[in-house]
Amino acid sequence: MDVDAVVAGAGAAGLSAAIAAAQAGRSVLVLEQSETFREGCCTSMSTAMIPAAGTRWQREAEVEDSAATFAADIAAKTKGSADPVVARALTEVGPALVDWLADRCAVPLELVTDFLYPGHSQLRCHTVADRAGSTLLRLLLEAAQRTDGLELVAPMRLVDVELDGDGAVRVAIAETPDGARERVDTRSVVLATCGFGANAELVRRYCPEIVGGLYHGGDGANGDGLLIGQRLGADTAYLDAYQGHGSVADPHSVIVTWATVVHGGVIVNARGERFGDESTGYSEFARQVIAQPGAHAWTVIDDRIEATLEPFADWQRLRAAGAIRRAGDTEELAALIGAAPEELAATLAAAAAQVHGTAAAPDPFGRTAWEAPLRAPYVAVRIVGALFHTQGGLRTDGAARVLRGGRPLAGLYAAGGAAQGISGHGADGYLAGNGLLGALGLGYLAGVSLSL
């Protein structure tokens, strides 16, 4: 078999690379190892938030934004530690990327205008109507199906890549679940296999601080792209970086959107105490939740906040699963949480004093963003901290070309979780949406650049 490009992985990264390359007239074979990837990959599990700055949706909503403003937000959140080349490429490609998704892939996008994720200075998250990654993935798969020259085979796993005597990609080796191998002649391979969140050994090696958290990411994120690239001598970067999440419903394993906090919710532990600045961001909050007694906590909101959560498919899933608990007053809430009523009442009173500006001292955790005070009756969800996906991987340039010794390895590309992200190190630098941006953005750039 002989194709122009082999793409490993049928998530956001792989599909955007494959569609862009096939639209440019290339023959593309997409290999997907999992039969259940439509529900089980990171893209399908995501909230489908795609940040892009300077888009037509923003202009319609009179939001003033630019790639430079977005890049400045990334620099602020990562304290200047994000890869500048890739951050620049992804912030600059944003408007073309969302246009391409809407116009050439028929993914209807809308701008999220009802809340701002921590760290984004402007409304720039674009999403699908139900804010569900499974919808985004389905639409991308439908676009792939309509695209001539693109074939998707599942289950089929990329197990290796061979180079020719000049060090350029020559053969992709694929394997069926029963171990039958096939050699595919090709000049381009896109590694879009996601990160290594599902590989406990690699997580222990590279991201030890999140060991102990729930893994709530794609089951196919076993590090294949990283390991194949490493065998070829590729450069790697930011292997300690990951996206955590400080509020996943326990034991239901459904995201409790951080919009709860943005709209004024608080997170308390089993003693009824707040323990951090919830407004900094959900990624870094994961390890704080893990450190609490019993390694769990509670998101506490009220009816006003709950009304804003209706657009989230995940909130409907939580409701259907019985994860959303209600308490008429502080006493009932304390009984639900297992906390002492006076402790919880003091916590909620202190938070309200911060909102009203009547507190004697600043918030001990440094929170300054409060939308409105919480009012009984309360709504609460028991939560745990989780690892969603890793943000380190193969080092690429701004065209998604994998680097070896600082120079492009001819024909090898990486996108999404298989590539380095733009989140700096650890969990603190992750800005909402930068996972999908790295997947869709680097995927699209890989598809375009391998077609040149």
Instruction: Give the binding site for ligand FAD (CB under 6 A).
Output: 8-14, 31-34, 37, 41-43, 45-49, 157-158, 192-194, 216-218, 220-221, 224, 243, 255, 388-389, 416-417, 433-437, 439
Write down the least CB distance from residue 168 to ligand FAD, Å. Answer: 21
Contact, 58 vs 98, CB < 8 A? no
Can you tell me the distance from the alpha carbon of 227 to that of 185, in angstroms, rounded to the nearest whole number? 21
Can you tell me the distance from the alpha carbon of 14 to that of 191, in angstroms, rounded to the nearest whole number? 8
CA distances for 398 relative to 75, 88, 93, angstroms: 17, 8, 10
Cβ closer to ligand FAD: 229 or 435?
A: 435
Write down the least CB distance from residue 134 to ligand FAD, Å. Answer: 11
Write down the least CB distance from residue 189 to ligand FAD, Å. Answer: 11
Cβ closer to ligand FAD: 354 or 420?
A: 420
Write down the least CB distance from residue 377 to ligand FAD, Å. Answer: 29
Can you tell me the distance from the alpha carbon of 126 to that of 53, in angstroms, rounded to the nearest whole number? 10
Write down the least CB distance from residue 249 to ligand FAD, Å. Answer: 12
Contact, 257 vs 312, CB < 8 A? yes
Can you tell me the distance from the alpha carbon of 373 to that of 350, in angstroms, rounded to the nearest whole number? 10
Neighbours of 367 (CB within 10 A): 18
Nearest-CA neighbor of 321 among 385, 255, 224, 241? 255
Cβ closer to ligand FAD: 150 or 327?
A: 150
SS3 344: helix
Write down the least CB distance from residue 315 to ligand FAD, Å. Answer: 14
Cβ closer to ligand FAD: 42 or 448?
A: 42
Cβ closer to ligand FAD: 43 or 347?
A: 43
Query: Angle between the 442-450 and 84-103 helix axes, to the nearest 10 degrees?
Result: 80
Cβ closer to ligand FAD: 18 or 337?
A: 18
